[in-house]
Amino acid sequence: MLKLRLLVSAIALTGPLSVMAAESLPTTAPAPADNPTTPEKVELGQMLYHDPRLSSTGTVACASCHNTMLGGEDNRPNSMGVNGQTGGRSAPTVWNAAFNKVQFWDGRAASLEEQAAGPVTNPIEMGMKSWDDVVARLKTIKGYRRAFELAFGSEHEAITKENATKAIAAYERTLITPNSAFDKYVQGDKDAMTDQQIRGMNTAVELGCTSCHSGPAFNGPGTFQKFPAHPSGYFEAQYHFGKDKGLAEVTKKESDEHLFKVPTLRNIALTAPYFHNGSVGTLDKAVKIMAKLQLNKDLSDDDTADIVAFLNALTGEFPKQEMPRLPGTPGSSFN
């Protein structure tokens, strides 16, 4: 009861603690003014998201690494792209990505639209030489010509890179998982979470986890945090966290070294392995490592188990989806 009273007191405060404690996940995501969400865009975006023909080999789709039938990623340490190539990072979840301030682990994309453009022409991921090649391929598929016109009109050429990425982003904005046990709890159902989950929630607040993982998506008020904040030779030797310089890999600025996007904790129980390089296989181990490297604190097994229980309470309800029927190319291949 003491810890529960501490939480109630935290909710009354202003700042990150109250945001974390009091807000449930919205059921809709805001869309930019130049890309309002429409059913036609969402339908087209879902097709493009699941179509491996957006890759050079016809074998890799967005959904290959960000599987909406699972936790929104692929449960691999490093995702596999065309020709069996693997990159150096673990795929972040697409579920609730609409609530991220920035996209990709290194935060190099400011929007879902910008993010959607990147993997298609990445030589390791989907391997297309250019978006001009993607557009040319889509124009050969009759069903896509109709779907783009429905989504964007027929007054101008509808099949463009801009419209394709807008459609994928519109679809991704529908990938929201509300009504977790935590959401129901903060909405007033005090039986929605177990005593252990409530203990874990309060322990997370008391430790300072919410200084980064705040807000309804548990992904922080800002965009980047340094990781590790407290380097450890012991953990570095095992997990090689420091090998990836994060945002500095893009900007080449020393001041940006080891800055990463704060990932959402929503559905984290479903997205093992953990960290940007997928080097940690279990959630309990990830919790202990985070406490040490970010807060310089050693967690007991009991506190770790409580926090893991709380993190399981962040698994939401996944919207029912029917897989799209992709436009065909009767009588010929797509090449």
pLDDT tens per residue, range 226-281: 999 999 999 999 999 999 999 999 999 999 999 999 999 999 999 999 999 999 99
Domain range 2-27+177-312, CATH class: mainly alpha
Q: 0.85 cut: is pTM over it?
A: yes
Find out if CATH 1.10.760.10 is the number for domain 39-172: yes
Q: What is the pLDDT of residues 20-54, one digit of tens each?
A: 446 899 999 999 999 999 999 999 999 999 999 99
What pLDDT sits at residue 17? 39
Q: For the chain, where are the alpha helices, taking DSSP H only?
A: 2-12, 16-22, 39-49, 62-65, 112-121, 131-139, 142-152, 161-172, 181-186, 195-207, 233-239, 248-251, 283-295, 301-312
What sign for the dihedral angle of Cα 286, 97, 319, 190? positive
Give the torsion through C-alpha atoms of 248, 238, 79, 90, to 10 deg. Answer: -50
DSSP letter (8 states) at residue 118: H
DSSP 59-92: ---HHHHS-TTTTSS-S-SS-B-GGG-B-SSPPP
Q: What pLDDT, on a 0 to 100 scale, did the predictor assign at position 14?
A: 32
Provide the 10 A C-beta neighbour count for residue 252.
10
Interval 148-152 mean pLDDT = 98
Residue 43: burial class (beta carbons within 10 Å; 0-12, 13-18, 19+): middle
Whether 202 contacts 288, CB under 8 Å:
no
Choosing from 40, 73, 113, 125, the catalytic residue is 125
pLDDT at 335: 66
CATH 1.10.760.10 residue window(s) in the chain: 2-27+177-312, 39-172
In this predicted structure, the answer to whether residue 167 has a pLDDT above a threshold of 50 is yes
Neighbours of 31 (CB within 10 A): 17
149 is catalytic: no
